[in-house]
Structure 1
């Protein structure tokens, strides 16, 4: 997969990298279990700081899209796919709306647990 960043974009460089990984999972150019480029190599290729790549990878790990393996790198999670990405997007929208209403994450989790579909 070819990564690109645009310094003039409103999105941070880390967010741009993360968006490209998500898009790769959705379009199938990144398959479950596939290894992502090492942070140092990707940073050098994109001419960005290595910590920028690590921030992108950390965000993707928190979303459950990638796994980080000590000394072995970052891999697309076995369960990653378009459905998971859509659920993450919906969860982010739900949390944004809940924050506007002054609700905490714990309150939202409790409400979800109480739904008839839980």
Structure 2
């Protein structure tokens, strides 16, 4: 499972880690029934504290995406529904746009222009 964090992202680290794991599940990098790597391994790969990863895993468990089983680790229960997955990507897009000084209205305008022209140039 390949996860990346954006060092320029103003969100708290645990939220970034949660979004990265949710995206990996939504994209099919980890399928329902599969186990995630141990929290320490994920933390090492991301360069964050293991407690940050554990907090993210608990958040995803609370969302119903993950299951914790003693002696078996953390497994994926289900993929997020399409609207939920798309919502995460839209939040990421809005966060990125804000870093460039664009607001939601500007993003809607860009999307409208691109959809009329058939896509990015």
Change (3 A) 1:12 1:19: same
Cα RMSD for the two superposed structures: 2.1
Q: Which secondary structure does the structure 1 equivalent of 2:81 belong to? A: helix
Moved over 4 A (4+): none
Q: Is there any run of 5+ residues in structure 2 with no aligned partner, and where? A: 88-121
Change (3 A) 1:70 1:43: same
- Equivalences for residues 1-118 of structure 1 within 5 A: 1-77=1-77, 80-83=78-81, 86=84
Aligned-pair CA distance for 1:39: 0.5
Aligned-pair CA distance for 1:35: 1.0
Change (3 A) 1:39 1:86: same
Give the TM-score, by structure 1 length: 0.63
Q: Is there any run of 5+ residues in structure 1 with no aligned partner, and where? A: 90-118
